[in-house]
Structure 1
Amino acid sequence: MDSPLTAYLLPAVLAVIMYGLGLGLTVADFRRVAAYPRPTAVALCCQLVLLPAACLGLVLAFDLGPELAVGMMLLAASPGGTMANIFSHLFGGDVALNVTLTAINSVIAVVTLPIVVNLSLDHFMSGTDEALGLRFDKTLQVFLVVLVPVAAGMFTRHRRPGFAERSTRAVKVTAVAALVVIIVVAVVAERNNVVGYLADVGLVVVLFATISLATGYGATRLARGDHRQSVATCFEVGMHNTTLSMAIALSPSLLDSTRMAIPSAVYAVVMFVMALSTGFLLRRFAPGGSTTTGVAGVTPLEQRQSADEPGDLA
Structure 2
Amino acid sequence: MITRFLASLGRRAPLILALGIFIGLALPDLAAFVRPLLTPSVFCMLVITMLRIDWPTVGGHMRSPARLTLSLGWVMILCPAVMALLVAPLDLPPGLKMAMVLYAAAPPLLTAPALALFAGLDGALALIVVVAAMFIYPVVLPPLAFALLGVNLAVGAIDLMLRLALLIGGAFGLAMLIRLRAGTPRIAELKHHLDGGLVVLMIIFAIATMDGIAARAIAEPAFVATFVAAVFAVNLGLQALTMLAFWRLDAIPRTTLGLVAGNRNLALLTAALGSAVDPDLFLYFAIGQLPIYLLPMLLLPVYRWLTRPRTMAS
TM-score range, shorter-chain basis?
A: 0.5 to 0.7
Conservation of the 8 A alpha-carbon contact between 1:118 and 1:133: yes
1:94-128 deviation digits (Å, cap 9, x = unpaired): x4xx233112112212223344555577679987x
Mapped to 2, the partners of 1:230 and 1:277 lie a distance apart of 14
1:37-94 deviation digits (Å, cap 9, x = unpaired): 776555444323332222333343435433762465235533262323443x3xxxxx
Question: What displacement does 1:31 show?
Answer: 1.1
Query: 221, 224, 238: which is aligned to 2:259?
Result: 238
Question: What displacement does 1:172 show?
Answer: 0.7
Closer/same/farther in 2, CA of residues 246 and 212 from structure 1, 3 Å limit: closer
Conservation of the 8 A alpha-carbon contact between 1:42 and 1:219: no
Query: 201, 204, 207: which is aligned to 1:181?
Result: 207
Query: 152, 160, 169: which is aligned to 2:195?
Result: 169
Mark the runs of 5 or more structure 1 residues left unpaired by the alignment. 90-94, 291-314
Mapped to 1, the partners of 2:246 and 2:149 lie a distance apart of 35
Mapped to 2, the partners of 1:170 and 1:276 lie a distance apart of 18
Closer/same/farther in 2, CA of residues 99 and 181 from structure 1, 3 Å limit: closer
Q: Does residue 84 in structure 1 map to residue 116 in structure 2?
A: yes
User: Which one-letter code corresponds to 1:69 in the other structure?
Assistant: M
Question: What displacement does 1:189 show?
Answer: 5.7
Mapped to 1, the partners of 2:215 and 2:44 lie a distance apart of 25
Mapped to 2, the partners of 1:147 and 1:119 lie a distance apart of 24
RMSD between aligned residues:
4.3
Mapped to 1, the partners of 2:209 and 2:180 lie a distance apart of 34
Conservation of the 8 A alpha-carbon contact between 1:21 and 1:150: no
Aligned partner of 1:213 in structure 2 is 239
Give the TM-score, by structure 1 length: 0.64
Aligned partner of 2:136 in structure 1 is 112
Conservation of the 8 A alpha-carbon contact between 1:66 and 1:124: no
Conservation of the 8 A alpha-carbon contact between 1:30 and 1:100: yes
1:214-241 deviation digits (Å, cap 9, x = unpaired): 33332333x4x3xxx2343124323458
Conservation of the 8 A alpha-carbon contact between 1:218 and 1:230: no
Conservation of the 8 A alpha-carbon contact between 1:78 and 1:113: yes
Mapped to 1, the partners of 2:94 and 2:155 lie a distance apart of 19
Closer/same/farther in 2, CA of residues 49 and 230 from structure 1, 3 Å limit: farther
Mapped to 1, the partners of 2:149 and 2:222 lie a distance apart of 20
Conservation of the 8 A alpha-carbon contact between 1:138 and 1:254: no
Aligned partner of 2:123 in structure 1 is 99
User: Which one-letter code corresponds to 2:76 in the other structure?
Assistant: L
Question: What displacement does 1:192 show?
Answer: 4.6
Mapped to 2, the partners of 1:145 and 1:60 lie a distance apart of 37
Q: How does 1:257-296 map to 2 (within 5 A)?
A: 258-262=282-286, 264-268=288-292, 271-272=295-296, 275-276=299-300, 278-279=302-303, 282=306, 287-288=310-311
Q: Single out whichever of 64-73 and 18-27 deviates more from structure 2.
A: 64-73
Closer/same/farther in 2, CA of residues 279 and 16 from structure 1, 3 Å limit: closer
1:105-156 deviation digits (Å, cap 9, x = unpaired): 12212223344555577679987xxx96333476246524642343234423
Mapped to 1, the partners of 2:42 and 2:162 lie a distance apart of 12
Q: Does residue 139 in structure 1 map to residue 160 in structure 2?
A: yes
Q: Single out whichever of 160-169 and 78-87 deviates more from structure 2.
A: 160-169
Aligned partner of 1:248 in structure 2 is 268
Mapped to 2, the partners of 1:152 and 1:197 lie a distance apart of 44
Conservation of the 8 A alpha-carbon contact between 2:83 and 2:100: no
Mapped to 2, the partners of 1:203 and 1:103 lie a distance apart of 28
Conservation of the 8 A alpha-carbon contact between 1:29 and 1:99: no
User: Which one-letter code corresponds to 1:133 in the other structure?
Assistant: A
Closer/same/farther in 2, CA of residues 36 and 215 from structure 1, 3 Å limit: farther
* Sequence identity (%): 13
Query: 114, 135, 148: which is aligned to 2:169?
Result: 148
Mapped to 2, the partners of 1:145 and 1:188 lie a distance apart of 35
Closer/same/farther in 2, CA of residues 122 and 70 from structure 1, 3 Å limit: farther
Q: How does 1:184-195 map to 2 (within 5 A)?
A: 184-188=210-214, 190-192=216-218, 195=221
Question: What displacement does 1:27 show?
Answer: 4.1
Question: What displacement does 1:274 show?
Answer: 6.7
Mark the runs of 5 or more structure 2 residues left unpaired by the alignment. 1-27, 276-280
Q: Does residue 54 in structure 1 map to residue 82 in structure 2?
A: yes
